[in-house]
Amino acid sequence: MTIQSCAGSLHTLKSEPEPAAADRACPPADDGFIRDVWYVAALATELRREPLRTCLMGEALSLRRDADGVTLDGPEGWTARDSEGLVWVHVPSDPRAGPPAEGPPRFEGPGGKVRFVETATLPGHFDDAVYGLLDPAHGPYVHASPLWRSSRTLKEKAKAYEPTHLGFTMMAHAPVNSTAYRLIGGGVQVQIGFQLPALRSESIWNAKNRVLGLTALTPVDAQTTIIRQIFYWDSAILNLVRPFARAVTRPFLQQDVTIMAMRQQGLKHQPRQMLIRDADQLYIWYQKLKAEWQASRAEGRGFENPVRPATLRWRT
């Protein structure tokens, strides 16, 4: 699909990332990426008889499945695992360090398998994509849909946050903005978590149904980031609407592609950027989490989560 934006014509929205050609190197990366963590590299269903070729942090990878599980042909020390229907790749800071002590993060998706996924390629650095993922104003101002909140219906919000493993969590609450939550019935509760490197989990449940929406960002290179919207559920009603889901999710991610392209045009002029509490506090926490993670690895010590419990307020 081709879109028009101030950046011109962009062929960036795809159902899955384009594989890297075997005889072509991936574009170079930079030093701004997080290492010693797991990234989503593919869906388990994408690994068939032929190797899947892709790029991660500017490195060419070839993934395939054999009798021993998922194997990876790539940089020294990189490891691949299959978990909850996703193929994860661990990127070490020291290729001689050996296999990671911990496996990929688990989110216990209801139903036990991926029910739906939509993928897009964002034209921007990984950190820029994280900002869009965490910005509370992103939803009402970027995403236009009858199923989502708009900038014309802003309400005062107060959300309680707690530190969690490698991140933070917005504690369980009743949603007030989006009619999409009503698909699984009444009495809905929502809890939203974020953890390094850039994994946003949204748990939605009531007395009868559970849904997990997982958004995963993957750095292809210094100017390209893949975003995957992954859903698990145990709700019969969602099985019925799944054939129509792409008609909603694809335009949704298209809006992300468009706003990222516009942002890249603005960044060319090197504007002075400001982060404003409370609205930008989530991204401020991300920056602190990233800095502490990198410092702890460099100094050979344990990670100390810099996030403290807080109640944040904004209008969305």
Q: Is the pTM of this model over 0.95?
A: no
Rounded distance between C-alpha atoms, residue 292 and residue 295, angstroms: 5
Rounded distance between C-alpha atoms, residue 207 and residue 127, angstroms: 37
**Maximal C-alpha separation, the chain:** 55
- Would you state the pLDDT for residue 29? 65
Q: Is residue 10 in some structural domain? A: yes
pLDDT band at residue 269 using 50, 70 and 90 as cut-offs? confident
Q: Is residue 12 in some structural domain? A: yes
Across 75-88, average pLDDT = 96
DSSP 128: H
Model confidence at 14: pLDDT above 80: no
**Backbone phi, then psi, for 281, in 5-degree steps?**
-60, -35
- Would you state the pLDDT for residue 177? 62
- Would you state the pLDDT for residue 25? 65
Q: Is residue 289 in some structural domain? A: yes
Model confidence at 278: pLDDT above 90: no
pLDDT band at residue 3 using 50, 70 and 90 as cut-offs? very low
Alpha carbon separation from 199 to 125, 129, 216, 230, 236 (Å, rounded): 16, 12, 5, 11, 26
User: Is residue 168 a contact partner of residue 179, using CB atoms and an 8 Å limit?
Assistant: no
The structural domain count of the chain equals 1
Model confidence at 290: pLDDT above 90: yes
Q: Is residue 190 in some structural domain? A: yes
Q: Is residue 69 in some structural domain? A: no
Percent with pLDDT over 90 in the chain = 55
* CATH number of the domain encompassing residue 196: 3.90.380.10
Q: Which domain holds residue 285?
A: 3-18+108-315
Alpha helices, DSSP H, located in 154-276: 236-267
pLDDT band at residue 17 using 50, 70 and 90 as cut-offs? very low
- Over the stretch 170-225, which tens digit does the pLDDT of each residue have? 998 887 666 667 777 788 899 999 999 999 999 999 988 899 999 999 999 999 99
Q: Is residue 70 in some structural domain? A: no
Q: Please, how many CA atoms are within 13 Å of residue 273, restricted to the half-sphere of its CB?
A: 12
